[in-house]
Amino acid sequence: MISVTQAVLGLVSGSLVGFSLGLVGGGGSILAVPLMVYVVGVTDAHLAIGTSAIAVAANAAFNLSNHARGGTVRWSCALPFAAAGIIGAFIGSIFGKMVDGQRLLSLFALVMLVIAALMLKSRSKTGLPDVRISWTNMPAIVGLGLATGTMSGFFGIGGGFLIVPALMLATGMAIMNAVSSSLVAVTAFGLTTATSYAWSGLISWELAAVFIVGGIAGGLIGTRSARHLAARRGALNIVFAAIIIAVAIYMLVRNLSLS
């Protein structure tokens, strides 16, 4: 049973998670895991990872519906990417539970910094406006989907911060389309990881519900903000990278202070 304080903190934290998912198609678990550990006070890192996975999957599905209504989801690329990623997420989650929770968080932060650097490097690219799957890009879509899914499951994340650059690399699509399309995979990866952790009893369903409620409100604001930033060349990439860097540094500092 969670306390009233945890419920309030979880609601606020969930709104931040939903906002990030709506804005950049990622950051769900990257934000949810440290928020659960350092703000809400969940002491078990694996419980925080499992709970965030189900909350992020639900919030990602809600934000996906918002982006789909705007016509920015590239379904032909997103669906096979997600399908390949589900296999990887299941495999990754098995190995992730074998690694010390604090070490997982530190490794996760280092991966985030690499992704941020790649996104800043590609900020001037506009991307192709109407990408579809073809025999040319199918190997890259499936291969990167499998790799991203494995990392998502290993680190216990929805994977949006990995999926967005992977979709852009595989297909050349614009970041707004990658943000929207990534939510298909974020939902799928999150559900796969959550199922694995639920089987091990590593989910707080009450806390997950609170995060989901907060995330719905935050997601609406995030989606509208993404459409505004997408009109400005490179702006969404910079915001995307800035969020990753800030959270990664915070996680590394916290883990160093605890070690």
Residue-wise pLDDT for 33-68, tens only, equals 878 888 888 888 888 888 888 888 888 888 899 889
- Write the DSSP string, 132-188: ---TTTHHHHHHHHHHHHHHHHHHT---HHHHHHHHHHHH-B-HHHHHHHHHHHHHH
- Which is more confident, 251 or 211? 211
Instruction: Return the ∠ at Cα 241 (arms to 236 and 247), rounded to 5°.
Output: 130
Each residue's pLDDT tens digit, 138-178 = 999 999 999 988 887 777 665 677 788 889 888 988 888 88
Residue-level pLDDT at 125: 60
pTM: 0.76
Token digits for 85?
């990623």
CA dihedral 123, 129, 132, 136 (to 10 degrees): -60
Token pair 């590394």 in the structure block, residue? 252
The Cβ-side half-sphere exposure at 64, using a 13 Å CA radius, reads 19
Residue-level pLDDT at 156: 63
CB-CB contact of 171 with 142 (8 Å) = no
Residue-level pLDDT at 212: 92
Residue 213 confidence class, pLDDT cut points 50, 70, 90? very high
Residue (of 144, 142, 134, 189) closest to 169 by Cα position: 144
Lowest mean pLDDT among 13-22, 75-84, 241-250: 241-250
- Which is more confident, 6 or 103? 6
CB-CB contact of 50 with 202 (8 Å) = yes
Q: What is the DSSP letter of 2?
A: -
What is the chain's mean pLDDT, rounded?
Answer: 82
Instruction: Return the ∠ at Cα 148 (arms to 58 and 181), rounded to 5°.
Output: 50
Residue-level pLDDT at 205: 92
Lowest mean pLDDT among 160-164, 218-222, 255-259: 255-259
- Rounded CA-CA distance 37/9 in Å is 11
